[in-house]
Amino acid sequence: MPKIFDRQFNLHISAAQIADRIARVSEKISLDYQNRNPLFVVVLNGAFVFAADLLRALEIEPEMSFIKVKSYEGMASSEKMLTVIGLNEEIEGRDIIILDDIIDTGHTMDMLISQFRNLKAASIKTCCLLFKKQAFKANFTVDYYGFEIENKFVIGYGLDFNGRGRQYKDIYALAE
């Protein structure tokens, strides 16, 4: 079991369970967006592994673009928000699906939704692999998600603890 910066993590969701859930999410999205070309906006860094697997499972012809925001330091969600890398695409009139690894308080996604509204997207949906429902404080609907998880700190499959732990195929939770 991984140990990162002296903290012990235990297996929480296996690679097989993740693959199974991504297949179901991609089926749903492929059905909802039949004959459309949505633009997936992927929130770096954490969502890059999820985005790569989801993209290859989809049965539509989507486009994908990457943005970078920062809202998290260590293990606590903070209200600070900083857009590091912006979008180059024309957003007006496009169907947007914002993709993140995890929705915790929902603050990150909330801010992104209002930015895409200002840019006059035709539609905006949200998608994440993990949803910490108990920590969620925002008002938007999480349209597509893989797993609802308890309010635990998790790493692996792209998710990090201060930059470490992204490389694992499975998802691990901080040991109590």
Distances (CA, A) of 144 to 17, 118, 128, 150, 166: 16, 22, 6, 17, 22
Query: Could you say which of ligand IMP, Mg ion, none residue 77 binds, taking C-beta under 5 to 8 angstroms by partner kind?
Result: ligand IMP
**Is residue 46 within 8 Å of 39, Cβ to Cβ?**
no
- Scanning 10-18, 24-32, 114-122, 151-159 for contacts with ligand IMP by CB under 6 A, the matching segment is 151-159
Using the rule CB under 5 A, is 46 a contact of Mg ion? yes
Toward Mg ion, which CB reaches closer, 38 or 46?
A: 46
Rounded CA separation 48/99 (Å): 9
Under rule CB under 5 A, which residues in 93-112 are in contact with Mg ion?
none
| Per-residue contact string for residues 34-63; x = within reach of ligand IMP by CB under 6 A | ---------x--x-----------------
The catalytic residue among 53, 100, 101, 104 is 104
Cβ of residue 151: shortest distance to ligand IMP, in angstroms?
9
- Scanning 3-11, 16-24, 71-79, 112-120 for contacts with ligand IMP by CB under 6 A, the matching segment is 71-79
Per residue in 115-127, is it b (16+ CB within 10 Å) or e — as a string? bbeebebeebbbb
Using the rule CB under 6 A, is 105 a contact of ligand IMP? yes
DSSP state of 37: -
**Is residue 84 within 8 Å of 68, Cβ to Cβ?**
yes
Using the rule CB under 6 A, is 77 a contact of ligand IMP? yes
Could you give the angle at which helices 15-32 and 48-57 cross, rounded to 10 degrees? 60
Using the rule CB under 5 A, is 156 a contact of Mg ion? no
**Is residue 11 within 8 Å of 165, Cβ to Cβ?**
no
Question: Which residues contribute to the site for Mg ion (CB under 5 A)?
Answer: 46
Question: Which residues contribute to the site for ligand IMP (CB under 6 A)?
Answer: 43, 46, 71-72, 77, 100-108, 153-154, 159
